[in-house]
């Protein structure tokens, strides 16, 4: 069992139950788990990392993304959600292959790791390819093979795509410690009620999480209410989606009267995507109300097609600021609450043994350099992480005790090869979809 000692850290942001921040501390990793945290830990490690001038934080958890959509970065901007989906994204996705998904996923995982993310929850297609890339690059992933009423790029029929998604779960459940399979019906406006109900039942039977977009846009609320006589949250609840399931509900920007209580009682994890929501004009989720009422909230970037980055440091800062500005109350959504939303809360909701730095937890740890001028003077470490730090301050990333990023560089694969492969895949996809790309110019 390999032992890694991170020695002499400026601080360790534990995110334990007391939210302790330990000064001048060490971290000892044995195998995949944290063995000890404290001062002057004994040596004898296989690897010693100099932690001076660095802060250790738990690896960040991106609660909602579409990791291969790095291929669509910048090709469908400044559009409302439904136009973005129906006229741009879905027509391009119709041409996807597993090879292109793998290339986009590798680029997305590279970006995620480089910016301090150690776990991501993904809804997309050809998830087998994404799982393989996650293992190759060493990142933890909660993966949902997604499907829409008309099917997916994998299977051109909704019910057959659902069967394919269940087979994906069976292939990957318990297969690798980094991969948690899940089910991913797209949304209540794009998946018929019978298929949503069957999805809920399958998630219970297979004992896996379920991911869904929910109440993201006002037009969704209007459409679902018009078609089914219930608002999106009440509609999926009536179909049994929340019953006995771990549900990640992405966005939930527009809950209606009484629905916050439903979300609380059902222990739904809301994946708050502030940047994507603003960019698509979807609005501002009532996160202060969610936190006040004890609803579980995590943070997500969404895909690079609607963000356009997978940077959780940027997402943390925006999440802290927009609700202060929107409500006119600078006390809402504190730095500590935001850090909780990016670490321990989604980890706990998903049943993952990560999200904090304490003995017995999996060693998903991020080291952040503090030498830059924006880190000084160092009055409040948690405040600096949320309001001042930049993702480029990340120097080391451990996932399950193994280094993925060392001195700011990906060590599990060739970064140049990843970028080249993604650009080639994106160009092929744009050409098939009839979309202009700068890459196609002379």
Residue 79 has pLDDT above 90, yes or no: no
Asked if residue 134 and residue 45 are part of one domain, the reply reads no
Asked if residue 23 and residue 119 are part of one domain, the reply reads no
Asked if residue 239 and residue 254 are part of one domain, the reply reads yes
Asked if residue 251 and residue 223 are part of one domain, the reply reads yes
- What is the per-residue pLDDT for 441? 65
pLDDT digits (tens, 9 = 90+) for 359-374: 999 999 999 999 999 9
Asked if residue 164 and residue 301 are part of one domain, the reply reads yes
Q: Give 367's strand partners.
A: 56, 396
Q: Which of 349, 373, 398 is the last residue of a domain?
A: 349
Q: Give 249's strand partners.
A: 212, 270
Asked if residue 395 and residue 288 are part of one domain, the reply reads no
Structural domain boundaries, residue 46: 3-57+361-410
325 is a domain residue = yes
pLDDT digits (tens, 9 = 90+) for 279-289: 999 999 999 99
The number of folded domains in the chain is: 2
Interval 203-230 mean pLDDT: 97
Residue 54 has pLDDT above 70, yes or no: yes
Residue 442 has pLDDT above 60, yes or no: no
Q: Determine contact, residues 325/299, Cβ cutoff 8 Å.
A: no
Asked if residue 97 and residue 68 are part of one domain, the reply reads yes
Asked if residue 159 and residue 294 are part of one domain, the reply reads yes
Asked if residue 283 and residue 150 are part of one domain, the reply reads yes
pLDDT digits (tens, 9 = 90+) for 302-360: 999 899 999 999 999 999 999 999 999 999 999 999 999 999 999 999 999 999 999 99
Residue 69: Cβ within 10 Å count: 28
Asked if residue 30 and residue 164 are part of one domain, the reply reads no
In angstroms, the CA 112 to CA 126 distance is: 19
State the chain's mean pLDDT as an integer: 95
- How confident is residue 429, by pLDDT bands cut at 50, 70 and 90? confident
Counting residues of the chain whose pLDDT is more than 70, the rounded percentage is 100
- What is the per-residue pLDDT for 77? 85
Q: Which of 321, 349, 377 is the last residue of a domain?
A: 349
Asked if residue 64 and residue 20 are part of one domain, the reply reads no
In angstroms, the CA 378 to CA 373 distance is: 10
222 is a domain residue = yes
Q: What is the CATH number of the domain that holds 311?
A: 3.20.20.140
Alpha-helical runs (H) found in 209-349? 218-228, 232-238, 259-265, 274-279, 287-293, 312-327, 335-342, 344-349
Asked if residue 112 and residue 72 are part of one domain, the reply reads yes
Interval 172-197 mean pLDDT: 98
Counting residues of the chain whose pLDDT is more than 90, the rounded percentage is 88
- What is the per-residue pLDDT for 434? 75
Residue 13: Cβ within 10 Å count: 23
Task: Give the dihedral of Cα atoms 133, 135, 137, 139; nearest 10 deg.
Answer: 110
Interval 393-404 mean pLDDT: 98
Q: What is the CATH number of the domain that holds 379?
A: 2.30.40.10
Q: What is the pTM of this model?
A: 0.96
In angstroms, the CA 7 to CA 359 distance is: 16
Residue 414 has pLDDT above 90, yes or no: yes
């Amino acid at each position: 069992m390999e032992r890694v000692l991170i020695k002499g850290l400026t601080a360790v942001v534990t995110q334990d139950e007391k939210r302790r921040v330990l000064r001048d501390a060490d971290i000892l990793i044995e195998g995949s788990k944290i063995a000890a945290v404290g001062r002057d830990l004994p040596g004898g490690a296989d690897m010693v990392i100099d932690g001076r001038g660095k802060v250790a934080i738990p690896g960040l958890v991106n609660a909602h993304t579409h990791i291969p959509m790095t291929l669509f970065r910048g090709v469908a901007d400044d559009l409302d959600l439904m136009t973005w989906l129906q006229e741009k994204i879905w027509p391009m996705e119709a041409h996807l292959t597993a090879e292109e998904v793998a290339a986009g996923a590798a680029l997305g995982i590279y970006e995620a790791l480089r910016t301090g993310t150690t776990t991501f929850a993904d809804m997309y297609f050809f998830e087998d390819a994404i799982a393989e890339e996650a293992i190759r690059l060493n990142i933890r992933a909660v993966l949902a093979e997604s499907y829409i009423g008309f099917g997916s790029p994998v299977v051109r029929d909704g019910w057959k795509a659902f069967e394919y998604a269940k087979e994906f779960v069976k292939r990957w459940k318990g297969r690798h410690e980094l991969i948690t399979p899940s089910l991913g019906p797209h949304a209540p406006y794009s998946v018929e009620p019978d298929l949503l109900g069957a999805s809920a039942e399958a998630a219970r039977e297979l004992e896996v999480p379920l991911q869904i977009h929910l109440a993201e846009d006002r037009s969704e609320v209007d459409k679902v209410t018009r078609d089914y006589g219930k608002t999106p949250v009440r509609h999926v609840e009536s179909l049994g989606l929340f019953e006995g399931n771990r549900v990640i509900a992405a966005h939930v920007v527009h809950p209606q009267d009484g629905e916050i209580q439903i979300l609380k009682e059902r222990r739904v994890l809301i994946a708050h995507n502030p940047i994507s929501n603003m960019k698509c004009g979807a609005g501002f989720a009532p996160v202060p109300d969610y936190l006040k009422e004890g609803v579980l909230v995590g943070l997500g970037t969404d895909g690079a097609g609607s963000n356009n980055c997978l940077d959780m440091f940027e997402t943390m800062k925006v999440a802290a600021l927009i609700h202060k500005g929107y409500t006119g109350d600078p006390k809402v959504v504190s730095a500590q609450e935001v850090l909780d939303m990016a670490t321990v809360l989604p980890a706990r909701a998903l049943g993952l043994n990560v999200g904090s730095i304490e003995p017995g937890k999996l060693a998903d740890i991020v080291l952040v350099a503090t030498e830059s001028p924006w880190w000084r003077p160092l009055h409040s470490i948690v405040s600096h992480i949320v309001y001042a730090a930049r993702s480029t301050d990340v120097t080391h990333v451990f996932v399950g005790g193994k280094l993925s990023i060392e001195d700011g560089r990906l060590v599990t694969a060739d970064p140049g090869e990843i970028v080249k492969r993604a650009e080639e895949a994106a160009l092929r996809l744009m050409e098939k979809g009839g979309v202009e790309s700068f890459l196609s110019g002379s």
